[in-house]
């Protein structure tokens, strides 16, 4: 009897856990499904969805036609690509070089510098937004894509800890052998270390790319020219520009959100293997 009771209790607990997981999964997928459904939904009135499945429900690509034909979405997407790729390249270079230096070099202020960078990285970026805005205004860089690139890549060194943990796992014997053969420290870094650091490079590239791609707060602070909007700011302005623009452009907004999300999902799925390897390798210090 005791064995049967324990078996029944185990099955009941497993059933409860699975029920909770399924419920959470449905709640997580439901907004995404609604976004996809609304992006393809075509009705005589393309405004707010008052009924989920109306009698005149039709699906098609008219929302995407309006998105690329009636708005500046293509230009906003290009601006976002320029900012994201440029800041991603600079950020990745900064993080890798700073992380390697903190992992390999030993100097008196190494530990205090690491602690200061770690503490500064915990503060939200918007806390310094006003100061950054006035600095950019004094330099004449407001309302420009260059300002976005400089700000996004300027704090790159604060994210050193994952990459430093990865470089700590790389055996020093390989570098010592190369130095004995006459290689300098920069050559060791570029020719020996980086070819072995593909997982952490991919991880750094992905995390560096997604931040400017999705940012809205800082872009909204310094960009006023409609032609220089990024997708986040452009889509927001599109449904808030006029009194009835939200009702008229909601389905078009969902189409734009689907395009933006599809690009990020494709990027992550294509590099998922290296992304996971980079996280796990950087989380263990050798």
Q: What CA–CA distance (Å, rounded) separates 197 from 166?
A: 8
Query: Rounded mean pLDDT of 229-255?
Result: 81
Predicted TM-score (pTM) of the model is: 0.79
pLDDT, mean of residues 189-207: 82
Model confidence pLDDT, tens digit, residues 136-146: 888 888 888 88
Higher pLDDT, 130 or 26: 26
Residue 138 exposed, middle or buried by CB count within 10 Å (0-12, 13-18, 19+):
exposed
pLDDT at 120: 76
CB 218 within 8 Å of CB 125: yes
What DSSP state is assigned to residue 271?
Answer: T
Q: Is the pLDDT confidence value at 185 over 50? A: yes
Mean predicted lDDT score pLDDT of the chain? 80
Minimum mean pLDDT range among 80-89, 225-234, 264-273: 264-273
More confident residue, 122 or 286: 122
**Stretch 2-27: mean pLDDT:** 82
CA distances from 144 to 197, 211, 231 (A): 34, 18, 15
* DSSP 8-class letter at 122: T
**Average pLDDT value for residue range 147-174:** 81
Is the CB of residue 255 less than 8 Å from the CB of residue 197?
no
The answer to whether the beta carbons of residues 117 and 160 sit under 8 Å apart is: yes
36-85: pLDDT as tens digits: 888 888 765 545 555 666 666 677 888 888 888 888 889 999 999 999 99
What average pLDDT does the segment 145-173 reach?
81
Measured in whole angstroms, the distance separating CA 172 from the mean position of its chain's CA atoms is 32
Query: CA angle, corner 28, sides to 47 and 44, nearest 5?
Result: 15
Please, which pLDDT band fits residue 3 given cuts at 50, 70 and 90?
A: low
Residue 259 has pLDDT above 60, yes or no: yes
């Amino acid at each position: 009897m005791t064995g049967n009771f324990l078996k029944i209790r185990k099955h009941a607990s497993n059933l409860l856990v699975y029920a909770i997981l399924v419920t959470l999964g449905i709640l997580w997928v439901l907004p995404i499904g609604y976004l996809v459904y609304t992006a393809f939904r075509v009705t005589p009135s393309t405004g707010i969805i008052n009924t989920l499945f109306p009698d005149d429900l039709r699906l098609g690509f008219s929302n995407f036609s309006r998105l690329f034909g009636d708005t500046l979405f293509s230009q906003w997407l290009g601006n976002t690509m320029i900012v994201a790729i440029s800041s991603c390249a600079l950020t990745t270079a900064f993080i890798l070089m700073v992380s390697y230096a903190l992992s390999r070099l030993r100097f008196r202020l190494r530990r205090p510098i690491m602690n200061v960078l770690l503490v500064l990285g915990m503060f939200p970026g918007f806390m310094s937004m006003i100061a950054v805005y006035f600095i950019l205004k004094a330099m004449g860089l407001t309302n420009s894509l260059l300002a976005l690139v400089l700000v996004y890549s300027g704090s790159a060194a604060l994210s050193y800890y994952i990459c430093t943990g990865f470089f700590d796992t790389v055996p020093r014997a390989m570098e010592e052998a190369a130095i004995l053969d006459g290689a300098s420290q920069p050559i060791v870094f570029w020719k020996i270390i980086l070819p072995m650091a593909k997982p952490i490079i991919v991880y750094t590239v992905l995390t560096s790319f997604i931040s400017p791609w999705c940012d809205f707060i800082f872009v909204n602070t310094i960009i006023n020219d409609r032609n220089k909007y990024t997708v986040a700011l452009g889509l927001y302005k599109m449904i808030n520009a006029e009194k009835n623009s939200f009702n008229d452009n909601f389905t078009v907004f969902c189409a734009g959100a689907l395009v933006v999300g599809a690009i990020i999902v494709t990027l992550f799925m294509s590099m998922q293997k290296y992304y996971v390897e980079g996280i796990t390798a950087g989380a263990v210090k050798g």
